[in-house]
Chain A
Amino acid sequence: EIVLTQSPATLSLSPGERATLSCRASQSVSSYLAWYQQKPGQAPRLLIYDASNRATGIPARFSGSGSGTDFTLTISSLEPEDFAVYYCLQRSTFWTFGQGTKVEIK
C-alpha cells in the first residue's frame, strides 16, 4: 500500500501570505495525485487533480506541481476562505489519502 505523508501538519499564516503544502508518496504514483480542501462540517472539495490540473471553478491562486513521489500545493496569496484542512490523494491499485495539513490563521 502506498503511504502519503503530508507536511507540515499545521501551517500558521496570515491572509495574503503564500502557503506551500507538501505531499510525499512512499513510492511513485506518477501524476496520479489530487488535492482536496475540507472545511468543518463539509464534504471535501476537489481543488487539483492529476498533480497540476485545477478543477472547475477553483481560483488561479491554487496550483499543484510534482510527479513521482514529491508533490506541492501552493496557494499564492491566502484569502480568508482558504483556511481549512487540505488532503492529498493518490491512485495506484487503490486510493489512499494523506493525513492532512491544517492551514490556520496566524
Chain B
Amino acid sequence: QVQLVQSGADVKKPGASVKVSCKASGYTFTGYYMHWVRQAPGQGLEWMGWINPNSGDSNYAQKFQGRVTMTRDTSISTAFMELSGLRSDDTAVYYCARLEMTTKFDPWGQGTLVIVSS
C-alpha cells in the first residue's frame, strides 16, 4: 500500500538545524510531488513547500524562504526537509504528504515532532 514513513521526534536548541526524512513506499517515488506541512501545538496546518522528486526542483512558502531546504534521494525513495535557524516557534509536528493531484494530498506521513528548546 502507498505509505509515507517519517523519522522520529527530535529536540534542537535555538539556532540549530533539523532535517526530517520521509520514506515513500508502494508507488513510484519520482511520479508525484512531495509537500511539507507543519502544525504548531494546538494550532492549525501551515503549508511549507514542495519538491519534485523527479527533477529535484522545489518551491517554498514565502515565510520559510531562506530557512528551508527540501531535497530527495531517489535511490532510497526518501524526501527530506531541513529547517535552519530554529526558533522556539518552530516547535511543531512536521508532516510530509504526497500530492496526487491539484488539492489531493494523500497519503500523509505520520508526522515528526520537532521541539526547539534551550
Contact = CB atoms under 8 A, between A and B. Distances in A.
A89 B103 contact: yes
A97 B108 contact: no
B61 A55 contact: no
Interface stretch (B7-15, B42-50, B73-81, B84-92): B42-50
A87 B47 CA distance: 12
A46 B61 contact: no
A80 interface: no
A43 B102 contact: no
Contacts of B111: 43
Q: How many interface residues does chain B have, given as a range?
A: 20 to 34
A34 interface: yes
Interface residues of A, number: 24
A44 interface: yes
A21 interface: no
Interface in A32-90: 32-34, 36, 38, 43-46, 49-50, 55, 87, 89-90
B44 A33 contact: no
Interface of B: 35, 37, 44-47, 59, 61-62, 95, 97, 101-106, 108-111
Interface of A: 1, 32-34, 36, 38, 43-46, 49-50, 55, 87, 89-91, 94-100
